[in-house]
A and B are shown apart, each in its own frame.
Chain A
Amino acid sequence: MSPVEISMPQPVTLEQAKVGDTFRIVRITDPETATMAMRLGISEGESLDVASRVPGGPVVIRRGAIEIALGRELCRQIEVVKIVS
């Protein structure tokens, strides 16, 4: 791995995101998931906190005062970059 790659914020999927960090959604890979997510209020460019992760299960995100649990399958489709830790 070259040092350049390390300094660039690499997108990870929401599945890999760490609890307590704040992320911005850069891309939702599967168009069907993107459609679904956008209707529910999760769209590209938005930022969110990861509130908790259930091992082998959903990731809970926090937006303002609202907590939403997202199934693993869904999280795999959501690419995010870390903006604050």
Chain B
Amino acid sequence: MSMIIEPEISTQPPAEQPTPVKIVTGKKKVVLAGNPNVGKSLFFNAFTGKYVNVSNFPGTTIDVPKGDMDEHTRLMDTPGVYGLSGMSDEERVAEKAILDADVIINVISAISLERDLFLTQQMLDYGKPMIIAVNQMDEAKARNLEIDLPKLEKLLGVPMFPTVAVTREGLEQVKQSINKAKTGNAIPDMPPATELQALEANMADRMKIYGLRRQHVNAIARQVVTDTSRPGTVTQLLSQRIGQALLNPFIAFISMLAVLFALYQVIGIWVAGDLVDLTEGKLMLGQNAGSWPGIVPLMQGVIGHVFPKGSFFYTVFGGEFGVLTMSVQYIFGVLFPLVLGFYVYISILEDCGYLPRIAVISDGLLNRIGLNGRAVIPLILGLGCVTMATVSTRVLTSNRERTIASTILAITIPCSAQMGVLIALMAKAGGLNAWMAYCVILFTVLIALGSVLNKMLPGRSSSLILDLPPMRVPNLRNIAKKTWVRTVIFLKEAAPLFMLGSLLVAVLQATHMLEAIQATLGPAIRAVLLLPAETAQVFIMGLVRRDFGAAGLYFMADSISHAQLLTALIVITLFVPCFASATVLWKERGIKEGLTLLAGSWAIAFGVGALVARLLALFPVFG
């Protein structure tokens, strides 16, 4: 139907206006649909390659990525939803896209068939041509769930393919089978597809139809899923006991302390310290590396041959903040080992079933700031890299929650790059007392910020509904796969942004704008924060790399008071996230929200800083 250009045929005599011609794109519209977090975007990325255009759905702030699968087929991703009931912007967008589609690729998760099949059946009842990808087959196997796919295919009446999207298993087959899409089996007693939508808009009818659909789907799930785990074995009993114990607040608290301490040890000391010394110090810069000159000096040598040292282009490409020097040094020397380490850690926690339980335990607290337990994952990731964490806010259910979580991340969470310098400086600022003051202040800002956003933003956040997988010994293969895929995706998204950031700063430096900005900012900082004017340079550096900012303070630490040092550390934490995370923020949340947040973070950083500076001057506890 949509393959042709057809003039609208009218029985009326021609009017003065020219005959309206309905121009439709000559491409088949294929839409990806499914519940949240079933791996849809992995399908999208695998099917479209690089020609992707992400734009807001008309009238909403919801992103709908579109891309071409081939010259005849256009693929569109939709927000993950549990059904088409118009309960949120996400659902309305998904519904419009699905009703408008020529073919639907429905991605369902093998570990939650009962839940996922509701949306599937709803689309079947609407009479949409469809194929189904049953994803996370590996995970189902790990949980001893056997799924009778041929039977499911027969019951639903549409072609079905097992997939493991993280490793791309089965994806090619799905892609090649789009033309096999069929309108499957609607529920026999359902009203016809044409009337169904209108009926479902009415609450009383909706309840009846949904009830019927739920029963039908449950019956299907019962027929095709077999749980082959033997209950009552020692392993299973132990897994259950541990799972239950972790939901005890006291045990959860102790375990959380242990997990955070281990995180600090593994990421903070081993990865951010020892490993980065090796990758950034030795490999990139050639420090203490014997005869190895280091990649950056080698690069500078080559650039020096093309552009004379000290020239504009040399500074931009090969200088201190150069695009080919600093960004390469940072991306591969610092970010890569850090992000890899963090994802290994998080994947282990996730795979063994610990992370979902922490989400449950922290749900009550997070409710107060307009989030639910799911947000614990991005918040923990933020302690690693705020840029990475901002990308992961996609796991949250609504736009509202994503806004709150990204704001909290950008403003109040110190990333691990900063943490190393922070730890060293805290010792100089008065040790334990300084740490306590720092934590109390940041935590207060976090809670205040979350509460204010929760009050200000329209709507309300969604309640937690979370499957708790059984506790188990983590599977190394799973962890390796997940870690690698996540790291590569992250680097692909973030690397260009870091390069852009260093380009900007390098140009500012080459044109001597950097000094000018510092000179203007200096007096303001002295007046507001009671800090020496040179601190301006530290803050500007913090924009490029958060740890640069903190490191700059290190050289000033002995010449300023403890109170001043603490003030500066708080400001640099609250102050804008680094350039890369600001850019990711713009990409994820839109330019308007990004700019508001940027302005907000300046205001909060300097507001809180001014307050802290004066309080510390009044009560000189730190000398």
Enumerate chain A interface residues (CB-CB to B < 8 A).
31-32, 34-36, 38-41, 43-44, 51-52, 54-58, 60, 64-74
Partner of A70, one of B211, B243, B249, B463: B463
Distance to closest chain B CB from A70 (angstroms): 6
Q: Indicate whether B203 reaches chain A with its CB closer than 8 angstroms.
A: yes
Contact, CB under 8 Å: A43 / B214: yes
Which of B79-87, B280-288, B609-617 interfaces with chain A?
Answer: B79-87
Which residues of A lie under 8 Å from residue B360 when comparing CB positions?
54, 57-58, 60, 69
Find the B residue at minimum CB distance from A33: B463
Which residues of B lie under 8 Å from residue A67 when comparing CB positions?
243, 467-468
**Would A68 and B364 be within 8 Å (CB), given that A31-B207, A41-B214 are in contact?**
no
Contact, CB under 8 Å: A38 / B210: yes
Partner of B367, one of A38, A69, A73: A73
Which residues of A lie under 8 Å from residue B45 when comparing CB positions?
none
Excluding A65-B229, A71-B363, 14 further A-B contacts by CB distance (< 8 Å) are A39-B119, A43-B210, A43-B215, A52-B247, A54-B361, A57-B360, A57-B363, A58-B364, A65-B231, A67-B243, A69-B359, A69-B373, A71-B367, A71-B465
Contact, CB under 8 Å: A69 / B468: yes
Partner of A32, one of B87, B115, B356, B373: B87
Residues of B70-97 whose CB lies within 8 A of A = 82-83, 85, 87
Contact, CB under 8 Å: A41 / B367: no
Distance to closest chain B CB from A66 (angstroms): 7
Which residues of B lie under 8 Å from residue A31 when comparing CB positions?
203, 207
Contact, CB under 8 Å: A69 / B218: no
Which residues of B lie under 8 Å from residue A66 when comparing CB positions?
467
- For B114, B360, B463, B464, the residue with the greatest tally of chain A CB atoms inside 10 Å of its CB is B463
Bits for B345-374, please: 1 = Cβ < 8 Å to A, else 0. 000000000001001111110010000110
Contact, CB under 8 Å: B114 / A41: yes
For the complex, give the distance between the alpha carbons of A73 and B362 in Å: 14
Q: Indicate whether B227 reaches chain A with its CB closer than 8 angstroms.
A: yes
Partner of B247, one of A36, A54, A68: A54
For the complex, give the distance between the alpha carbons of A15 and B46 in Å: 43
**Would A41 and B464 be within 8 Å (CB), given that A58-B360, A71-B372, A73-B367 are in contact?**
no
Which residues of B lie under 8 Å from residue A54 when comparing CB positions?
247, 249, 360-361, 363-364
Residues of B274-293 whose CB lies within 8 A of A = none
For the complex, give the distance between the alpha carbons of A39 and B121 in Å: 11
Partner of B211, one of A44, A56, A73: A44
Q: Indicate whether B206 reaches chain A with its CB closer than 8 angstroms.
A: yes
For the complex, give the distance between the alpha carbons of A52 and B574 in Å: 38
For the complex, give the distance between the alpha carbons of A67 and B215 in Å: 20
Find the B residue at minimum CB distance from A75: B463
**Would A36 and B367 be within 8 Å (CB), given that A55-B249, A64-B227, A65-B229 are in contact?**
no
For the complex, give the distance between the alpha carbons of A31 and B208 in Å: 12
Find the B residue at minimum CB distance from A77: B463
Which residues of A lie under 8 Å from residue B465 when comparing CB positions?
40, 68-71, 74
Distance to closest chain B CB from A52 (angstroms): 5
Contact, CB under 8 Å: B468 / A68: yes
Q: Which interface class (under 10, 10 to 19, 20 to 34, 35 or more) fits B?
A: 35 or more
**Would A69 and B466 be within 8 Å (CB), given that A57-B360, A64-B227 are in contact?**
yes
Q: Indicate whether B244 reaches chain A with its CB closer than 8 angstroms.
A: yes
Distance to closest chain B CB from A83 (angstroms): 19
Distance to closest chain A CB from B284 (angstroms): 45
For the complex, give the distance between the alpha carbons of A38 and B206 in Å: 11
Q: Indicate whether B321 reaches chain A with its CB closer than 8 angstroms.
A: no
Bits for B196-235, please: 1 = Cβ < 8 Å to A, else 0. 0000000100110011001100100000000101010000
Find the A residue at minimum CB distance from B362: A57
For the complex, give the distance between the alpha carbons of A34 and B206 in Å: 10
Partner of B244, one of A34, A51, A72: A51
Distance to closest chain B CB from A48 (angstroms): 13
Which residues of A lie under 8 Å from residue B314 when comparing CB positions?
none
Bits for B167-188, please: 1 = Cβ < 8 Å to A, else 0. 0000000000000000000000
Which residues of B lie under 8 Å from residue A58 when comparing CB positions?
360, 363-364, 373, 464, 466
Which residues of A lie under 8 Å from residue B463 when comparing CB positions?
70-74
**Would A72 and B361 be within 8 Å (CB), given that A35-B85, A38-B210, A38-B211 are in contact?**
no
Query: Can you sample 14 A-B contacts with CB below 8 Å?
Result: A35-B87, A39-B82, A40-B465, A41-B114, A41-B214, A44-B211, A51-B244, A52-B247, A57-B364, A58-B363, A58-B466, A60-B360, A69-B356, A69-B466
Task: Give 7 nearest A-B pairs by CB, closest first.
Answer: A71-B463, A57-B364, A71-B464, A74-B463, A39-B83, A67-B468, A56-B364
Find the A residue at minimum CB distance from B211: A43
Contact, CB under 8 Å: B118 / A68: no
Find the A residue at minimum CB distance from B469: A67
For the complex, give the distance between the alpha carbons of A72 and B360 in Å: 11
Which residues of B lie under 8 Å from residue A57 when comparing CB positions?
360-364, 373
For the complex, give the distance between the alpha carbons of A29 and B372 in Å: 21
Distance to closest chain A CB from B178 (angstroms): 26
Distance to closest chain A CB from B230 (angstroms): 11
Which residues of B lie under 8 Å from residue A34 when comparing CB positions?
207
Find the B residue at minimum CB distance from A62: B468
Distance to closest chain A CB from B474 (angstroms): 19
For the complex, give the distance between the alpha carbons of A51 and B82 in Å: 24
Which residues of B lie under 8 Å from residue A64 when comparing CB positions?
227
Residues of B440-477 whose CB lies within 8 A of A = 463-468
Partner of B468, one of A39, A60, A74: A60
Distance to closest chain B CB from A15 (angstroms): 12
Which residues of A lie under 8 Å from residue B206 when comparing CB positions?
35
For the complex, give the distance between the alpha carbons of A56 and B206 in Å: 32
Partner of B210, one of A39, A55, A60, A74: A39
Find the A residue at minimum CB distance from B236: A65
Distance to closest chain A CB from B136 (angstroms): 15
Which residues of B lie under 8 Å from residue A65 when comparing CB positions?
227, 229, 231
Which residues of B lie under 8 Å from residue A69 when comparing CB positions?
356, 359-360, 363, 373, 464-466, 468
Distance to closest chain B CB from A21 (angstroms): 15
Contact, CB under 8 Å: B464 / A36: no
Contact, CB under 8 Å: A41 / B467: no
Bits for B110-142, please: 1 = Cβ < 8 Å to A, else 0. 000011001100000000000000000000000
Distance to closest chain A CB from B458 (angstroms): 16
Which residues of A lie under 8 Å from residue B243 when comparing CB positions?
67
**Would A39 and B85 be within 8 Å (CB), given that A31-B207, A71-B463 are in contact?**
yes
